Amino acid sequence: MTLSESLERSIFKTRGPLDPVNDSAVYVPRPELEPLLRAAQATMVDAYLAVLSSRQTGKTTLLYQLRHRLRPRGLGVALIDLAVVRDQSGEHLYTYVAGALRSELSAHLPRGAEKKDAALPTNPIEFRRFLLDLARQVRPPRIVILMDEVEAVPEKSSDAFFGTVRNIFSSRRKEDEAAFEKYLLVLCGGRELHRLTGGPNSPLNIAERIYLKDFSVTGVLALTANFPRAGIAAPPDTAQWVYDQTHGHPYLTQKLCALIERARPAAITPAVIETAAAEILRSDDHLEKMLLQIESDPPIREQLKPIVAGQAIPFSRLNAALARLELLGAIRDVGQCAVRNPIFAAAFRRHYGIPDAPPKPVAAPKRWGRIHLLIFAVIVLLINLPFLAVYTSDILLAPRAVNLPVKLNDLGASAIVRYDPILRANSAESNQVRVEVESAAPISVTFRKDAAPDLLLEGTAQRDLKPPASQEKFAITLNQSGLGAIPYNPFNPQTERRKAELVFAPPGQSQPAQSVPLDFRVDFYSGFVISALLSLASAVTFIVGLLGNLQKIRETLEKLIKPNQG
């Protein structure tokens, strides 16, 4: 069998995106697909989406899967590969994107609406008009535009192009341009996308970022389960052995499996996997391109060297060099900066001549310290139990919806107040207080928070409701700067509360006719997580300590029992 025939028949895929149907056996489900599906099917578009990751990590495959899942549900979906516009003029950019959109959405256009010879836009103004007309013509209520290789948009054209995209997003609530609400854009890119993150027209200013993660061990198992199809025995530990080399990097995992498939061993062993990893280190296009890109960018090259050498550097995407290294695929976030996987680490050490770090000896705990550790674990566990009990009662098991009927007798009206009584600290998501009123005359409702100055209200505090039936919504959040600094304190497990009220009165009247109190409980989720982790660690430490001291406990009990028997 020739090499080309072997590659053609290979189970594992190392080139190009995976087809949702033909390559389903080697497709690893990505958790990042779920938020994309939810956003595409939501009734409103609150933000566009940006999928960020390095080369050959499954971005285009993810877009293929998204299109495959959405089209049967009747949504308009257009996948546009912007790689073809690299180094092209702005005129060609707009013409290409518009033509691709019209072609991809042709099935959803009224008969006769698609005209192959119709003029295509060549500038931002024409492109904006084209998108508005297209949205008005397309029948489905949602048009999902998947833009792949976004960083390929020429720098000289990117500001105007993405400025138009941003304008479409901000104009979607205008009455005469409501058709723009149909659009949901999913931008997909990698290393060079950092140049689009600055400036007022950056597409990422209106996009929720989704960073594509590597496979878990379970994901690797979905791939290694294919080895028996090639007549290769794969022990249960095969997935873990592969993961130990690749840390789930999509390309490296597929490549490692493909090399093993090509070698055709009778069974997989750690030595077989190490041989395949060594072959990648000898020659691999992906590694070679990464090293060339690093060498062409001195700031990230100098930033990478100490990371490879094992220096502890805190990870932050606010550091431009670290952000580029992440999108290049060289490092990952583990709190500190870490090389993405052992194969990359070995390649970088060879490239820079950095020796392997010697393993640090792990000192065994002294026997005399075990009993003290056991006592300490019990104390920590007991201290945290009241905090966990209060949190469980007041937050986890508490009702998440209050429906409060109100009789406004002085106003000849009635109302229902609906709200979530749980406010999460350090969360940008707002709580909604909804007021539904039935009345014969206009009524004014005012949200007062005098007793809770750290509550932030979006919009005006006073709203006017018209008869006979009307409703209003107050969106509130907690002040981020103040609450974020409150420390975890298990010695004071009481739940924090915030008080507010709704005041109902005729419009223009200074004295309230009736007020309705609102009682909120503050969910310090970070405190709960800390307490739960400490309790879990203490419980594990207690069990381990108990097992380690069984002999000493038995001897102590024997000493106590023998005198009593005597």
pLDDT tier, 119 (very low <50, low <70, confident <90, very high otherwise): confident
Domain ranges of the chain: 3-7+215-282, 32-211, 285-352, 399-523
Between the two ends of the chain, the Cα-to-Cα distance in Å is 86
Q: How far apart are CA 184 and CA 36, in angstroms?
A: 10
pLDDT cut 90: percent of the chain above it: 52
Give the architecture (CATH level 2) of 399-523.
Sandwich (2.60)
DSSP symbol at 75: -
pLDDT tier, 564 (very low <50, low <70, confident <90, very high otherwise): low
Q: How far apart are CA 546 and CA 544, in angstroms?
A: 5
Helices (H) and strands (E) counted in the chain, each on its own, are 18, 17
Which one has a higher pLDDT value, 368 or 31? 31
The topology under which CATH files domain 32-211 is Rossmann fold (3.40.50)
**Which of the given ranges, 86-90, 346-350, 374-378, 478-482, has the highest pLDDT on average?**
346-350
pLDDT, one tens digit per residue, over 519-533 is 988 877 666 667 777
- Percentages helix, strand, coil for the chain (3-state, rounded to 5) are 50, 20, 30
pLDDT, one tens digit per residue, over 123-174 is 999 999 999 999 999 999 999 999 999 989 988 898 899 999 999 999 988 9
Residues in the chain: 566
Cα 503 to its chain centre, rounded Å, is: 40
pLDDT of residue 357: 61
pLDDT of residue 537: 76
Query: Once rounded to an integer, what is the mean pLDDT over residues 295-307?
Result: 95
Burial group, residue 172, by CB count within 10 angstroms (0-12, 13-18, 19+):
middle
State which amino acid sits at residue 26. Answer: V
Half-sphere exposure of 217 (CA within 13 A, CB side): 7
Which one has a higher pLDDT value, 362 or 148? 148
Confirm whether 32-211 and 399-523 share one CATH topology.
no
Q: Do residues 68 and 20 lie in contact, with contact meaning Cβ atoms separated by under 8 Å? A: yes
Single out the residue of 304, 318, 424 nearest to residue 354, CA to CA. Answer: 304
Is pLDDT at 450 greater than 50 in this prediction?
Answer: yes
Is pLDDT at 470 greater than 80 in this prediction?
Answer: yes
Is pLDDT at 368 greater than 50 in this prediction?
Answer: no
What is the pTM for the complete model shown? Answer: 0.62
Q: Do residues 512 and 504 lie in contact, with contact meaning Cβ atoms separated by under 8 Å? A: yes
pLDDT, one tens digit per residue, over 166-210 is 999 999 889 899 999 999 999 998 765 655 545 565 666 778 999
Q: Do residues 254 and 12 lie in contact, with contact meaning Cβ atoms separated by under 8 Å? A: yes
Half-sphere exposure of 85 (CA within 13 A, CB side): 28
Residue 117 CB neighbours (<10 A): 5
pLDDT, the chain, mean: 85
Is pLDDT at 405 greater than 60 in this prediction?
Answer: yes
The reply to whether omega before 29 is within 30° of 0 (cis) is no
Which one has a higher pLDDT value, 486 or 367? 486
State which amino acid sits at residue 414. Answer: S
pLDDT of residue 90: 87
Q: For helices 124-137 and 155-170, what crossing angle results, to 10°?
A: 40
pLDDT of residue 283: 93
Q: How far apart are CA 204 and CA 150, in angstroms?
A: 11
pLDDT tier, 392 (very low <50, low <70, confident <90, very high otherwise): confident
pLDDT tier, 561 (very low <50, low <70, confident <90, very high otherwise): low
Which one has a higher pLDDT value, 350 or 397? 350
pLDDT of residue 554: 64
